Amino acid sequence: MAKRLVKTDLCFLGILLLVLITGCIFFYAHNHKDGAVAVVTVAGEYYGTYPLEKDCRIEIKTNEIVTNILEIHDGKADMTDANCPDYLCVHQRAISKANETIVCLPNQVVVEIKGADTAEFDSMT
């Protein structure tokens, strides 16, 4: 009886492991194919995630006041407007590669690209 239980447990564990590994591989491959997202944080707090493949216009608000306008078009994230005094974020070029960021220091807004292929190859050539 005891032996039987162990055998069943091991079998169950094996299947579980297999399912987990298959799931991981599928998830990774799927995620990789899906491309990049723009992750927005305000004052160090998570604000939202927006896929680059879908054009949209995001109003980033702090205390009900729109501080920055982030536009996603042609697979790129671009800060098109802001109420900050330096306008540095608006002047930054549109980003689309993993780990690229647009930072608005006065408004503490950070836009970071995640999940895409890195720009390593491009910068090497």
Q: How far apart are CA 84 and CA 54, in angstroms?
A: 27
Q: Measured from the CB of residue 66, what is the shortest distance to Zn ion in angstroms?
A: 13
- Straight-line distance from the first to the last Cα atom of the chain, in angstroms, rounded to the nearest whole number: 65
Q: Which is nearer to Zn ion, 39 or 104 (CB)?
A: 104
Q: Which is nearer to Zn ion, 86 or 120 (CB)?
A: 86
DSSP 97: S
Q: Which is nearer to Zn ion, 35 or 106 (CB)?
A: 106
> Binding Zn ion by CB under 5 A: which of 39, 72, 82, 116?
82
Q: Measured from the CB of residue 53, what is the shortest distance to Zn ion in angstroms?
A: 26
DSSP 71: E
Select from 74, 125, 85 the least CA-distant residue to 107. 85
Applying CB under 5 A, the residues found at the interface with Zn ion are: 82, 84, 89, 104
